[in-house]
């Protein structure tokens, strides 16, 4: 972890982390929209402050939106609860069984678990199934879009991330996808694949990056809204 510092601008607390990077990045962390800036080690603080002032109105607007969102329901992993897979809503049916696993039956998602298993154990089984589902489809999408964009990733991983749908290490070419993408429609996963591969052409979210996104996936802004809804 880089060197951390907290400053306050217009009553807005901001965490600045110095890293060995070339560009500056801004993140708003849920649920309240805490402002986190990743900045190059030698970038003058005055330049960071100017950047924050330029983004101030946008930050306040986004924080308000984040704070107005309803809290995500915490699952107890019991029959009757709503769960999602590939953009579709299913009713969870928990069945004690000798062999653990997950299957789909109509509008029901069947979760086979041991008798008296804990919510944590049930979540582990479902998340393993989500992971396997992503592992099956991601290579196909990477292959498709690497040819279109003209880049090549080196590997991919899947993690349950809290603040990002995906990350790309532009030095190693390794991409990480959020486990929660298994709950989203395939087009949302495809958007994240394109987004992260485009970072191999342009590391930051600047005009060049957006121009590439417009070129390769013209409706990406609409898909992004769907992904974050």
The full DSSP string for the chain is: --EEEEEEETTEEEEEEEES-SS-EEEEETTTTEEEEEEETT--HHHHHHHHHHHHHHHHHHHHHHHHSPPPPPP---TT-EEEETTEEEEEEEEE-SS-EEEEETTEEEEEE-TT--HHHHHHHHHHHHHHHHHHHHHHHHHHHHHHHT----EEEEE--SS-SEEEETTTTEEEEEGGGGGS-HHHHHHHHHHHHHTTT-SSSSHHHHHHHHHH-TTHHHHHHHHH-
Q: What is the pLDDT of residue 124?
A: 95
Does residue 72 carry a pLDDT above 60?
Answer: no
**Domain coordinates in residue numbering, the chain:** 3-68, 131-228
- Residue 204 pLDDT grade (very low, low, confident, very high; cuts 50, 70, 90): confident
**94-98, 100-104, 188-192, range with the lowest pLDDT:** 94-98
More confident residue, 229 or 151: 151
Q: What is the pLDDT averaged over residues 95-117?
A: 93
Instruction: Tell me the β-bridge partners of 158.
Output: 177
Q: What is the pLDDT of residue 64?
A: 86
Chain Cα centroid distance, residue 196: 11
Maximum mean pLDDT: which of 37-41, 116-120, 190-194, 221-225:
190-194
Q: What is the pLDDT of residue 104?
A: 96
The CATH class given to the 131-228 domain equals: alpha beta
Q: What is the pLDDT of residue 143?
A: 97
């Amino acid at each position: 972890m880089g060197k951390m510092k907290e400053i306050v601008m217009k009553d807005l607390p901001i965490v600045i982390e110095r890293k060995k990077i070339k560009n500056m990045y801004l993140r708003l962390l849920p649920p309240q929209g805490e402002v986190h800036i990743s900045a190059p080690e030698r970038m003058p603080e005055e330049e960071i402050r100017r950047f924050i002032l330029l983004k101030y109105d946008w930050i306040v607007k986004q924080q308000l939106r984040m704070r107005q969102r309803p809290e995500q329901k915490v699952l107890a992993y019991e029959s009757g609860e709503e769960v999602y897979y590939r953009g579709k809503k299913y009713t969870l049916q928990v069945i004690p069984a000798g062999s653990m696993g997950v299957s789909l039956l109509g509008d029901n998602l069947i979760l086979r678990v041991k008798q008296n298993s804990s919510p944590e154990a049930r979540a582990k089984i479902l998340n393993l199934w989500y992971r396997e589902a992503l592992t099956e489809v991601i290579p196909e999408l990477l292959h498709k879009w690497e040819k279109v964009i003209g880049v090549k990733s080196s590997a991919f991983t899947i993690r349950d991330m809290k603040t990002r749908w995906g990350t790309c290490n532009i030095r190693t070419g390794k991409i990480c996808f959020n486990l929660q993408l298994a709950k989203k429609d395939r087009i949302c996963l495809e958007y994240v694949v394109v987004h992260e591969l485009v970072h191999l052409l342009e590391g930051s979210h600047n005009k060049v990056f957006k121009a590439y996104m417009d070129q390769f996936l013209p409706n990406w802004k609409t898909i992004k809204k769907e992904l974050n809804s």
